[in-house]
Amino acid sequence: MGGWLVGLPLTSAPIAFFLARDQGLAFAAAAAVGIMAGTVSQAAFSLAYARTATHAYWPLALTAGGLAFALSTLTLRWLPLSLVPLAVVAVAALVACRRLMPEAPRGPSPVAPPLPWWDIPARMVVTTGFVLLLTGVASHLGARLTGLVTPFPIYAAILVVFTHALEGSARAAGVLRGLLLGLYCFVGFFFVLAALLERTGIAPAFAAAAAVALAIQAGALWALRRGATA
């Protein structure tokens, strides 16, 4: 459930909003295409982390996930595809990576020890800093690269590292399986945003994108709960 929740564009949507305000609608629409394509990189991060975590501690697994994200981003930067083909690639990547994830453990989850007092403030500082950094350097990176870098899974990375350290690699993989299921709404949000932003303006485009994302996320939640029951 935690992974499913952070599949929402919690950092990417505010970045896209500020890009539209600061850099213009055309720049933000192009960045939205890149952000949607970055779903492939998030899927690669999830698979690399989960596979590495089966035989290594979280620092090595996090490094593997980060490298997978970087390699995917570099590949996508030079991939000359438009909005619709990139959406197909993103969905295909989610399906493939979810099938390749380690098997889910059976039985109830262990009781995790309480989080340290600095956990929530640290997440707030890191996330806010990432948003400020990307919106500040966007004009230097260009729209496509800004979009591809934006989806780096900050929330998911923090959540999975703490889960790995406190509850083990199997539960960390569970977080990432939930993330892969939750990322379908991410694709839907930025597909709609990229398609409508220049045509309708900021408010209607973001409203339509949010409605589509929430509808997809509701369907993903139904699938997640159905799978848990089974």
**pLDDT tens digits, residue range 37-69?**
999 999 999 999 999 988 888 899 999 999 999
Do the Cβ atoms of 101 and 47 come closer than 8 Å? yes
Q: What is the mean pLDDT of each run of 10 residues along the chain (230 residues)?
A: 78 90 92 92 93 90 92 87 91 93 66 67 74 69 77 81 81 88 93 95 95 91 69
| Entry pTM | 0.83
Task: Please name the residue ranges forming H helices in the chain.
Answer: 2-5, 12-23, 25-37, 39-53, 58-77, 83-100, 119-141, 143-149, 154-167, 169-200, 202-229
Establish how many alpha carbons lie within 13 A of residue 202's alpha carbon, considering only the half-sphere containing its beta carbon: 15
User: Residue 230: its pLDDT value, please?
Assistant: 47
Q: Is the dihedral angle over the CA atoms 203, 204, 209, 211 positive or is it negative?
A: positive
